[in-house]
Amino acid sequence: MKCIDKGFVLWLTGLPGSGKTTIASKVAEILRKRGYRVELLDGDWVRKTINPDAGFTREERNRHLYRVAWIARLLARNGVIVLCSFVSPYRDTRAKIREIISEEVPFIEVYVKCSLEEVIRRDPKGLYKKALRGEIKHMTGIDDPYEEPLNPEITVDSEHNSVEENASKIISYLEENNLIEKA
C-alpha cells in the first residue's frame, strides 16, 4: 500500500446515466492495483447510507453535496484518493464544492459528457421514462437543468469512448500532473 501524505478529490459530474460511477469504478480499480488507498463516493450509495433524507430540490441537492464535499476533503487530507460520482447539476454548487475541497487538497472536476438523447436511450434505472410520464419531479435533464461545466480539468466522452479509454484519460491526467506515479 502506497502512503501519500495528501490525497485528492476527483469529482465526476454529468447527467444521470452518463457513466460516472462506471468510469469512477474503473479508475478506482486501476489505482488500487497500483497500491493507492481509494474511496469511491457514489450518489446512490450516499443517499442510501449517509444522507437517506436527501431530496431533489435545488436546496436539498446542495445540502447533500456540501456534506459529501466535507467528507471527501476529510478523507483526502488523510492520504486517500477520493472519487466522487454525483450528478451535481449546478455550476454554482460545483464552484462551492471546489472551494470547500481545494482549501486543503487538490480538486479535479471530471465532466462525463453524454447527450440527453443517449442517457434517455440507456436509462439504466428507468428514471427518464418515469420523469417523461410525469411520475418523477426534479429529474435532471427533463424538468431540472444540468449546467455543463465551463472549465473542467478533464472531459471524458462516455457516448463515443469506452470505459477503459475514459479511465485511461483520467489516469494520464493524474500522472502528468504528478498526483500519482507514472506506471
Q: Angle at Cα 89 formed by Cα 95 and Cα 176, nearest 5°?
A: 55
What top-level class would CATH report for the domain 9-176?
alpha beta
pTM over 0.85: yes
Q: Where are the domains of the chain?
A: 9-176
Which residue is listed with cell 488523510?
78
Q: Are 112 and 48 in contact (CB under 8 A)?
A: no
Mean pLDDT of the chain: 93
Average the pLDDT over 19-44 and give the result: 95
Confidence of residue 21 (pLDDT cuts 50, 70, 90): very high
Which pLDDT score is estimated for 183? 85
Distance (Å, whole) CA 99 – CA 176:
23
Confidence of residue 58 (pLDDT cuts 50, 70, 90): confident
Average the pLDDT over 102-108 and give the result: 97
Which pLDDT score is estimated for 25? 98
**Percentage of the chain lying above the pLDDT 90 cut:** 73
26 three-state secondary structure = helix
Least confident interval from 20-24, 48-52, 120-124, 132-136: 48-52
DSSP letter for each residue of 88-110: ---HHHHHHHHHHHHTTS-EEEE
Q: pLDDT tens digit string along 61-70?
A: 899 999 999 9
End-to-end CA distance of the chain: 15
- In the chain, the amino acid numbered 4 is I
- In the chain, the amino acid numbered 41 is L
Q: pLDDT tens digit string along 42-56?
A: 988 887 888 778 778
Candidate list 18, 85, 88, 158, residue with the active-site label: 88
Query: Is 168 among the residues known to form the active site?
Result: no
Q: Is the pLDDT of residue 3 over 70?
A: no
